[in-house]
Structure 1
Amino acid sequence: MMSQEQNDLITRIGPTAPAGKLMRMYWQPAALADELVGERPVRAVKLLGQHFVLFKDEQGRYGLLDRDCPHRGADLAFGRLEQGGLRCSFHGWLFDVEGQCLETPAEPPGSPLCKNIRQRSYPVVEKGGILWAWLGDGAAPAFPDLDCFTAPDTYTFAFKGLIECNWLQALEVGIDPAHASFLHRFFEDEDTSTAYGKQFRGASADSELPMTKVLREYDRPIINVERTEYGLRIIALREIDAERTHVRVTNQLFPHAFVIPMSTEMTITQWHVPVDDETCYWYAIFTSYGAPVDRAKMREQRLELYELPEYRSRKNKSNDYGFDPREQATATYTGMGNDINVHDQWAVESMGRIQDRTREHLGQSDKAIIQYRRLLREQIEKVAGGEPPMLFLDPAEARSVQGPATMDGIGPTRGWETYWMEVDVRRRRNAPWAAPVPADIVRLAPHLSAAE
């Protein structure tokens, strides 16, 4: 059992909260790059409980500023883009992307006031179709060489969705291999050739077995969890028979992301980014190792569920997530349609805005969640003690954090330990872009990289 104090420690992310201080040691997704296109690329952003304005100036530079104008506190998110910056609509004070005040037009001619005014600004970089913000103090860490950052732009697609609960319970559903056999159970299997862009609807590698059939019929996975340099590796084994075992390898990417297989050719790297203590966004980069991503199709599929500009699900608590008892009896385990994002959203939002972990009872199948919470507490303590947390990387270290490896396939019951690595390496070697074999696989199975 967890105490309320322990629950608060790992969920609260304000500027002075211990977990909030940890989160500010990492780059955070602030918006999709697609959100700052068009005639007025200005957006209000709430991130880690703080209010900002994000904008792109006429030169294409990104700026992230505190949202309240330092003159009289008016809302800069309603400002005007002009003359090299963002101009407050109240008195016309003008700020560039670095927060420097360029003009205070109501002041007397020659007034030096603007030279001494600077709004706090935060670095912003674009990677993988996401605009990332650094909210911490001092120099920012380097980005690791993850596949989603290494792949060419045409082989990635980014999207996001709003979830009305704390970030931690949104993350924990993604590192829980057991839930997929129930929450995402379909009673009938579809043609796997039509599964593009849909998770759990295709066939596993080296098999014609639909993933829906595997999850439905083999619902007691053996779960192995390993510490890695980037977080956790989670391996779920579902034995089909004495010769064949379904192997699924996923990863927890510290602090608040996971990397999972979407299909034999595509992975999902997904962050669970706190808006505040009670709301979060998931940001995902879909990375293809086969053909370039069909971005138009992927976007169209997701806009069937998510409404702009907030990327809020059309199925939500207000309409019972589209629950249909007849569907629950005949088609899906939840009765909430075919989109697994809705299933996940119901599960984590139904726990409450911040899950009361003092009332939960964990079992063997929750071992990844148990180990992640332990890791989270360890890293919170490191930051509180003045030490950098894991994955706070310098450029040299960042180049060594690659991949991570992830896969879904049916391999030998005896020999699955190397099978999953073989599948991952094979996919990388066949990729049309230079997908590196992760260093940890090279260490574990050097023979797999020797033929490169």
Structure 2
Amino acid sequence: MSTVLPPSSSSSASGWQPVAFDTGTAYGRKPPSHKAELTEVGAGTPMGELLRRYWHPIGLAADATDTPRQVRVLGEDLILFRDKGGRPGLVHWRCAHRGASLYYGRVEEGGIRCCYHGWMFDVQGHCVDQPCEPENGARTRGRVRQPWYPVEERYGLVWAYLGPAEKKPVLPRYDCLEVLDEGETLEADDNSIGGGGPRIIPCNWLQHYENVADPFHVPVLHGSFSGTQFVALMGQMPEVNFESTETGVMITSIRRLEDGRVFRRVAGPVLPTLRVVPNPRVAAYGRVESIGWVLPIDDHSFRIYTVGRVKQPGDLARVRSRLNGKLWEELSEEEHRRFPGDYEAQVSQGAITAHSEEHLASSDRGIVMLRRLLQRQLDALREGRDPAGVSFDADAPPVRFEAGNFLQGE
């Protein structure tokens, strides 16, 4: 607020009153900006290089077939396939010969063959045939290698490592997916469970990943604002304890029931992109039954792969959010507006949110802790150290999480 005084010549004018103007309008606001170091994932960017030091799920195991499949990971366009020998492969989309897309290639026993001149590459990018060259390229094909990435299969997913070969860690195992109760099997899902929308979500990955560290949005967005989207118990504003760990942020939300029992929900983000989130519908109490990985497709989109222990096929898909009793794609535009969920709250921030315009409060403690965790890993990389959460020990025990829905005082 500012006050405008009249010129001195008129200061004594009869009846004059100082005029106050509210200067807190949007006029003159600075151009918005985002935290590029934390959000941008392309090759050569700080976060892009950090994420390339970990394994990432890039598809269901069933996605790797003898039909080439386009995938986009960390801003790179790649082709996933499975050769006739059953080996999965992941290669750069442009043929190393003349640049035709291997999406139009043909998968054979020894690899993938380009449609243009027939050059064939195995799952490690070796050129194994050049039919237009003398002796099928016996003297020349060894000079060419198609850019490729290592892949492995586990838990019904195909995993890729896009980082430096000399720093390739072992693909982790997870305790909650290794120890199954009687009658349980593992199921993998690519529906972006937890994203509250379609498979491909058109905003920066960090906007969703930070949501995992934000327990206070649950009783508002999923309760009082849009109506009960999970169970009524989750609509209660919780007491929250935040704990920083070497590889994540452990968040304990405490809700006290009228009968004296205490409901403890332990969740949180874990490096590199894990969302360790117990079923918000509290279908059962105990250890977390599924975990998901946020896969940055590029700077402006992501998707989520989930693996969990299930009793019946399709159980994971049934965990998908329902708004006003409907799946996201079944809602009208009016219903999306009246019953917004995670998708609307995160995507509406923009392709990459304007961090310069944030005003963080005490309830955002988990967000601050997560950003600091990521910043520490960026610092480690700059200093030549390995980031937290990578292991080069093939005999390392499965990663264990202290996460789940727990009811005390029964």
The two structures share one fold, judged by TM-score above 0.5: yes
TM-score interval, normalised by the smaller of the two chains: 0.7 to 0.9
Confirm or deny that 1:295 pairs with 2:325. Answer: no
Confirm or deny that 1:121 pairs with 2:148. Answer: yes
Residue identity (%): 32
**Superimposed CA distance per residue, residues 174-195 of structure 1 (whole angstroms, 9 cap, x where no aligned partner):** 2211111122228887xxxxxx
Residue 6 of structure 2 corresponds to none
- Report the residue type matching 1:185 in the other structure: G
Residue 227 of structure 1 corresponds to 244
Residue 17 of structure 2 corresponds to none
State which of 66, 72, 76 in structure 2 corresponds to 1:50: 76
Gap change, CA 1:6 and 1:393, over 3 Å in 2: farther
Confirm or deny that 1:323 pairs with 2:340. Answer: no
State whether residues 34 and 356 of structure 2, in contact with CA within 8 Å, keep that contact through their aligned partners in structure 1.
Answer: no
**Superimposed CA distance per residue, residues 383-429 of structure 1 (whole angstroms, 9 cap, x where no aligned partner):** 12211000111226831x532121223325xxxxxx9xxxxxxxxxx
Alpha-carbon offset, residue 4 of structure 1: 7.0
Counterpart Cα distance in 2 of 1:55 and 1:120: 14
Report the structure number with the largest CA radius of gyration.
Answer: 2
Residue 207 of structure 2 corresponds to 169
- Report the residue type matching 1:20 in the other structure: G
Gap change, CA 1:315 and 1:50, over 3 Å in 2: farther
SS at match of 1:395: coil
Confirm or deny that 1:260 pairs with 2:277. Answer: yes
Residue 220 of structure 2 corresponds to 182
SS at match of 1:163: coil
State whether residues 91 and 149 of structure 2, in contact with CA within 8 Å, keep that contact through their aligned partners in structure 1.
Answer: yes
Alpha-carbon offset, residue 34 of structure 1: 2.4
**Superimposed CA distance per residue, residues 182-233 of structure 1 (whole angstroms, 9 cap, x where no aligned partner):** 22228887xxxxxxxxxx75xxxxxxxxxx22122x22x2221112233121
Answer with 144-153 or 401-410: which moved more. Answer: 144-153
Q: Can you give the 5+ residue segments of structure 2 that lack an aligned partner in the other structure? A: 1-30, 191-198
State which of 99, 102, 107 in structure 2 corresponds to 1:81: 107
State whether residues 117 and 131 of structure 2, in contact with CA within 8 Å, keep that contact through their aligned partners in structure 1.
Answer: yes
Gap change, CA 1:321 and 1:33, over 3 Å in 2: farther
Gap change, CA 1:363 and 1:287, over 3 Å in 2: farther
Answer with 163-172 or 135-144: which moved more. Answer: 135-144
Q: Following superposition of structure 1 onto structure 2, how do residues 4-403 of structure 1 map, counting pairs within 5 Å?
A: 7-37=35-65, 40-109=66-135, 111=137, 112-137=139-164, 138-151=166-179, 155-160=185-190, 161-185=199-223, 201=230, 212-216=231-235, 218-219=236-237, 221-240=238-257, 243-262=260-279, 263-264=283-284, 267-288=289-310, 293-299=311-317, 314=329, 320=333, 322-323=335-336, 325=338, 334=339, 343-395=341-393, 398-399=396-397, 402-403=399-400
Counterpart Cα distance in 2 of 1:121 and 1:140: 14
Q: Can you give the 5+ residue segments of structure 1 that lack an aligned partner in the other structure? A: 190-199, 202-211, 306-311, 326-333, 337-342, 413-418, 420-452
Task: Pick the structure with more helix per residue.
Answer: 1
Alpha-carbon offset, residue 170 of structure 1: 1.1
Counterpart Cα distance in 2 of 1:348 and 1:168: 10
State whether residues 175 and 258 of structure 1, in contact with CA within 8 Å, keep that contact through their aligned partners in structure 2.
Answer: no
Residue 19 of structure 2 corresponds to none
**Superimposed CA distance per residue, residues 280-301 of structure 1 (whole angstroms, 9 cap, x where no aligned partner):** 111111234xxxx312454477
State whether residues 226 and 234 of structure 1, in contact with CA within 8 Å, keep that contact through their aligned partners in structure 2.
Answer: yes
* TM-score between both structures, scaled by the size of structure 2: 0.80
Alpha-carbon offset, residue 371 of structure 1: 0.3
Counterpart Cα distance in 2 of 1:397 and 1:6: 40
Gap change, CA 1:132 and 1:88, over 3 Å in 2: same
- Report the residue type matching 1:58 in the other structure: K
Counterpart Cα distance in 1 of 2:321 and 2:256: 37
Counterpart Cα distance in 1 of 2:246 and 2:337: 44
Counterpart Cα distance in 1 of 2:365 and 2:91: 41
SS at match of 2:402: coil
Confirm or deny that 1:405 pairs with 2:405. Answer: no
**Superimposed CA distance per residue, residues 87-137 of structure 1 (whole angstroms, 9 cap, x where no aligned partner):** 001111111111111111111236412122111221111111111001011
Counterpart Cα distance in 2 of 1:20 and 1:78: 28
Counterpart Cα distance in 1 of 2:217 and 2:33: 27
State whether residues 321 and 346 of structure 1, in contact with CA within 8 Å, keep that contact through their aligned partners in structure 2.
Answer: no
Gap change, CA 1:17 and 1:321, over 3 Å in 2: farther
State whether residues 257 and 269 of structure 1, in contact with CA within 8 Å, keep that contact through their aligned partners in structure 2.
Answer: yes
Alpha-carbon offset, residue 380 of structure 1: 0.7
SS at match of 2:200: strand
- Report the residue type matching 1:125 in the other structure: E
Residue 440 of structure 1 corresponds to none
SS at match of 1:393: coil
Task: Let me know the Cα RMSD of the aligned residues.
Answer: 2.9
State whether residues 209 and 269 of structure 2, in contact with CA within 8 Å, keep that contact through their aligned partners in structure 1.
Answer: no
Counterpart Cα distance in 2 of 1:351 and 1:397: 43
Gap change, CA 1:154 and 1:56, over 3 Å in 2: farther
- Report the residue type matching 1:97 in the other structure: V
Gap change, CA 1:347 and 1:23, over 3 Å in 2: same
**Superimposed CA distance per residue, residues 281-331 of structure 1 (whole angstroms, 9 cap, x where no aligned partner):** 11111234xxxx3124544776999xxxxxx96369xx6484264xxxxxx
State whether residues 230 and 254 of structure 1, in contact with CA within 8 Å, keep that contact through their aligned partners in structure 2.
Answer: yes
Counterpart Cα distance in 1 of 2:220 and 2:146: 50
State whether residues 252 and 259 of structure 1, in contact with CA within 8 Å, keep that contact through their aligned partners in structure 2.
Answer: yes
State whether residues 251 and 404 of structure 1, in contact with CA within 8 Å, keep that contact through their aligned partners in structure 2.
Answer: no
State whether residues 27 and 134 of structure 1, in contact with CA within 8 Å, keep that contact through their aligned partners in structure 2.
Answer: yes
Aligned residues: 359
Residue 5 of structure 2 corresponds to none
* TM-score between both structures, scaled by the size of structure 1: 0.73
Counterpart Cα distance in 2 of 1:304 and 1:181: 16
